[in-house]
Structure 1
Amino acid sequence: MRAPGAGAASVVSLALLWLLGLPWTWSAVAALGVYVGSGGWRFLRIVCKTARRDLFGLSVLIRVRLELRRHQRAGHTIPRIFQAVVQRQPERLALVDAGTGECWTFVQLDTYSNAVANLFRQLGFAQGDVVAVFLEGRPEFVGLWLGLAKAGMEAALLNVNLRREPLAFCLGTSGAKALIFGGEMAAAVAEVSGHLGKSLIKFCSGDLGPEGILPDTHLLDPLLKEASTAPLAQIPSKGMDDRLFYIYTSGTTGLPKAAIVVHSRYYRMAAFGHHAYRMQAADVLYDCLPLYHSAGNIIGVGQCLIYGLTVVLRKKFSASRFWDDCIKYNCTVVQYIGEICRYLLKQPVREAERRHRVRLAVGNGLRPAIWEEFTQRFGVRQIGEFYGATECNCSIANMDGKVGSCGFNSRILPHVYPIRLVKVNEDTMELLRDAQGLCIPCQAGEPGLLVGKINQQDPLRRFDGYVSESATSKKIAHSVFSKGDSAYLSGDVLVMDELGYMYFRDRSGDTFRWRGENVSTTEVEGVLSRLLGQTDVAVYGVAVPGVEGKAGMAAIADPHSLLDPNAMYQELQKVLAPYARPIFLRLLPQVDTTGASLPHPNLSLHPSACLLIRVLVHLVLL
């Protein structure tokens, strides 16, 4: 019998025994016996083992909700919240560029972002206008989108790995009226200049590349030096539920789609990370993740803008410099994706790897097989593994260090945070429903699709979706928890144990994760097919033992053995980001694009089935 049924039986027995005239103490003991005998002992065991965890999680939830409500009532936005931090500690270090050693105090970040806001207002840009930002992670990146937000404009944060068609697509669909790119990205911009509208105004930030200044491009830095650094006289009429910026994520339609990030979502994600892992204002956070993704820009940089932490940026992860940076800048918190932890473990043992002050590592994708090895070798006391996506409303966090778990939901009070694992057809990933038309919840140990109940009036439950309305509608299902409700479909399969701990199992649909990025199989298939003269192609991810995520496998129809892998790969380097390029090639007489003749994507790679065509960047990946 389930715990609720056991509870009901014990209450009924208590009432009956009391009505029969037995003393309360005897009745209570008898009722407890009925409860335990009916299976309630399992529920008692769950309560004893998880009450402390659940109470802390509830306190985090309440704290974030109260903070958000206070800011909403005050009409605050992320720039307004940041302004209060600047007033408290103007001379404290806000951002550090570990690559150059450049340090920005809070007041310097504030004045730089003020200059950005004043300049774009002066140039005639209006509230709600979109400006694309395309540069590597450094303090200017933060100052640019923050300055645009101060002026009521919205930044479209472009992945620096995008090239040619995907880059042109993202720029075109963003509706951007201007593009700010770093000098290091000039070659990529030059490749798509002919596909950009003539009305798009281009600005170059930082040092110019070997190409020099591109035609019809303005140098941003001299313009910012001439702009006023005073706060804007007229503050935009925006609130916490208005748009802040856009982050691009891979989608099942092929090319990246722009996820909408409103001010309350930015705050919520940063606040949950801050309180769930007990960060303090005195902490120094090391952030070597891309700033065009939410982990680096919200979970990481958000600690600086909202809570006043110093954040040390490195535009690209370096295994050999990681601990040296942490020691040099006295970092106490680091961010990771699973690959980072594995790369660090591959490094030769050095004295420096134990001389740091890091107490907490926050991120996702850390495999259970190396979890404890990482903490023991490097002396990091806590792993803050979490699950989430930029746009999702069902994020979870591992707050008590359960090895392998990416988070939990309370078994005692599951309705406090309305998320659920539901059953799906494993082949089609369609939701399975009961006789009442509702989704069927999974039992402990059963894998299922993670969903989150939507409530647009609640900043913790809302789903803002994407710029594309059709893409947004595809992520929503109805009558999931109850008749007529709406729920967000994560697209990810997880499994929950008896205590409510959740474990990531697989990514469903037409995407897989590789090197910390989501890869769209549809996008890669389209590119390959065009390169090969509309040849039939099927792309899918395959598991490689000892490696996080899945490596790309391309099955290509080549009945006459005419394919030149080297020539194909050279072309792929021009049009696909490194993480999106297939690692393996499978040549077949014909390709069944329905997937009937392809291996199930959950199967591990069998070496004899494939031809290795190229190892990307590091042999350690395989």
Structure 2
Amino acid sequence: MFLILISLVAVLFLYKAKLKNGLKILLRDSKFLSRIILLKRRFRTFEKKGTVAQIFTSLATKHPSKVIFYFEDEQWTFLDVEVYSNKIANFFKQEGYQREDTVALFHENSPKYPCVWLGLSKLGVISAFINTNLTGDVLIHALKSAKVTGIIYGSTLNKAISNITGKIPGIKLYQLLDGNEKTGVLDGSRDLTLELKMQSESSPTEELANGKITDKLMLIYTSGTTGLPKPTIITNKRAMSFTFAIKTFTKLSSEDIFYVCLPIYHSAGSVPIVCCFLYGSALAMRKKFSASNFWKDCYKYKCTIFQYIGEICRYLLASRAGTEFHIHHHLKTITGNGLRPQIWKEFVTKFNIKYVYEFYTATDGNVFLINTHNKVGAVGFFPRWASFMSPIKLIKFDEDTSLPLRGSDGFYQVCKTGEPGVLIGKMDVKDNSSGFVGYLDERDTEKKILRNVFKVGDAYVNSGDILVQDDSGYFYFKDRTGDTFRWKGENVSTTEIESVITNLLNLNDVIVYGVEVPGVEGRAGMVALIDSSRSLNMEKFYKDLKVNLPSYAIPLFVRVVQHIPVTGTFKLQKVHLRRQGFDIEKNEDPLYVFDVVEKKYVILTKEKYDEIISGKIKF
């Protein structure tokens, strides 16, 4: 019956479209749908192999001497990772950690990072990935919200830890050297590097065997659409399902070598590692992104695939502006999100990239879209004529509040072709372990879910993102809703920044929002605040922000207003301020911009504004 229905829809589609073009599109769509069905079937078979740790142990047994990690001058084989992770498991078992306990990882990129969370997972212990930029109260919030009982931190982050130790009683501290440097161990911390030397290399067989794919594997933080960073639950099954989709669509093999220069505490940096643990691929890792060393690394380690964020692609292109000579490398595939349409063709042409797999997903969502057709600007695809089969929908929203709108019948309304809408993904109430598992806090999880969407009893996850779908079925990302924006590859929580500034200046009315800067990926932070007494010291203000916020979260623009606009129900009006942005023609209020050279806020003059718009001033 189902196949008959599909056939009827296809015939109607062909009848409506021109026959030749319709047949071509139908062939493309049928191939895509068949791959989706095949992917689901194959994953059901794959998930029976066990947890991430169980599968990795099996791979390590099969080819122990194969290199899995390249890092600076180091090479880690599968056996090296197996041994190191076993030592981690045995030590923390000795420390009394048990299944469902949580340990925070606060460490820069290095092969030790994934070895640690892999080892903890063998016990069923959950790893909370902490952003290495966090300090002070925001860091404390991240630790407490994940209910961690221990912290493994790198020696380069000693200062951040020492500043909060008195405020996190009951949490054990374990210092892990980042390299070969000799750094003193902080008071109250254990020297994990020394402790591991005395641990057994044998596998914790019983605990490993008791693992289930529905077990929590890690917590990755996201701001979602509102509030402070929230720990999002990633189960073994969810991690496996996402990487399985990447493997299938990009045709990843055990011979491929990833290049990772993104922070491992983010999904974008950790996904390639999970791919290696599950499918036997290798990975070259760098502590931090470097435009000058990117192609050198790719050539040196013979990398074939790179997971990007759009901002990195822009940096790489800008670093080679005006140069025509050929760059030697082995990259054939790049996959990621945020590659701007304006630079897409230039990037792949200049650097001779064969395949681009732009995708859309979210750590705290249940939607995965991927552009398998090299369609410039598209983040994914699903046939329009088969939309009744799709678990994802675009629904209408209020342009002022960005909240989804219900129609006169009480249900949400699906957008028409070309109409921007909020992306939502259907939940499987019977088995959602590979979809939206939610946040650690159930109250935050419930806020993310829309219920009784198209009929009584159904449920969808609100992505908080606005997309549009064209008449060919391609999806394009438009904007984020709510109280977060993307800048420098990071999710920035406006609520977090507002809280910090309110405390620093003892003000009640502070609004933070993201504004577009021409030629730059994401949105730059801007704060509007009242300074009636004209006593705000901009130099001190920046210094205080630097102490209390990660560098990417410090607003680039400051607007000193006479009053904060509010709605009839006294809600702060961010939309109005966001639309005006930092345009000096639309603002009568004093405006300041952060000078990246002088490292301070300066008055935004007409001259500086023009330089920003033209791209002469870069952030």
Tell me the SS of whatever aligns to 1:506.
strand
Is 1:262 equivalent to 2:262 in the alignment? no
Alignment of 1:488-503 (within 5 A): 488-503=461-476
Contact between 2:401 and 2:575, CA under 8 Å: does it hold in 1?
no
Shift of residue 163 of structure 1?
0.6
Alignment of 1:117-516 (within 5 A): 117-197=89-169, 199-207=170-178, 212-236=184-208, 237-298=210-271, 300-348=272-320, 354-458=327-431, 462-516=435-489
Matched residues in 1 for 2:396 and 2:18: separation? 23
Is 1:587 equivalent to 2:560 in the alignment? yes
Identify which of 55, 73, 95 aligns with 2:69.
Answer: 95
Shift of residue 72 of structure 1?
4.1
Shift of residue 59 of structure 1?
4.1
Match of 1:28 in 2: none
Tell me the SS of whatever aligns to 2:526.
strand
Shift of residue 384 of structure 1?
1.2
Shift of residue 51 of structure 1?
3.5
Specify the code of the residue in structure 2 equivalent to 1:573.
K
Unmatched tracts of structure 2, length 5 or more: 600-614
CA distance 1:619–1:511, shift in 2 (3 Å): farther
Tell me the SS of whatever aligns to 1:244.
strand
1:401-449 alpha-carbon deviations (Å, 9 max, x no partner):
0000011122232344410101111112232223432211111100000
Specify the code of the residue in structure 2 equivalent to 1:615.
V
Matched residues in 2 for 1:597 and 1:232: separation? 53
Tell me the SS of whatever aligns to 2:576.
coil
Give the alignment's TM-score, normalised by structure 1: 0.89
Specify the code of the residue in structure 1 equivalent to 2:489.
G
Is 1:62 equivalent to 2:33 in the alignment? no
Shift of residue 269 of structure 1?
1.1
Match of 2:612 in 1: none
Match of 2:17 in 1: 42
Contact between 1:115 and 1:229, CA under 8 Å: does it hold in 2?
yes
Shift of residue 284 of structure 1?
0.9
Contact between 2:88 and 2:116, CA under 8 Å: does it hold in 1?
yes
Is 1:51 equivalent to 2:26 in the alignment? yes
Contact between 1:491 and 1:509, CA under 8 Å: does it hold in 2?
yes
Contact between 2:225 and 2:481, CA under 8 Å: does it hold in 1?
no
The range that moved more, 251-260 or 240-249, is 251-260
The range that moved more, 117-126 or 479-488, is 479-488
Match of 2:595 in 1: 614
Contact between 1:72 and 1:239, CA under 8 Å: does it hold in 2?
no
Matched residues in 2 for 1:607 and 1:383: separation? 39
1:193-212 alpha-carbon deviations (Å, 9 max, x no partner):
11101x21110001598973
Shift of residue 479 of structure 1?
1.9
Contact between 2:259 and 2:306, CA under 8 Å: does it hold in 1?
yes
Number of residue pairs aligned between Structure 1 and Structure 2: 589
Give the alignment's TM-score, normalised by structure 2: 0.90
Matched residues in 2 for 1:500 and 1:596: separation? 35
Matched residues in 2 for 1:287 and 1:367: separation? 20
The range that moved more, 584-593 or 134-143, is 584-593
Matched residues in 2 for 1:598 and 1:563: separation? 25
Matched residues in 1 for 2:616 and 2:153: separation? 31
Q: Percent identity, please.
A: 38
The range that moved more, 423-432 or 491-500, is 423-432
CA RMSD of superposed structures (Å)? 2.6
Shift of residue 41 of structure 1?
2.0
Matched residues in 2 for 1:484 and 1:42: separation? 36
Matched residues in 1 for 2:131 and 2:275: separation? 22
Identify which of 43, 48, 57 aligns with 1:83.
Answer: 57
Specify the code of the residue in structure 2 equivalent to 1:192.
I
Unmatched tracts of structure 1, length 5 or more: 12-31
Matched residues in 1 for 2:458 and 2:22: separation? 30
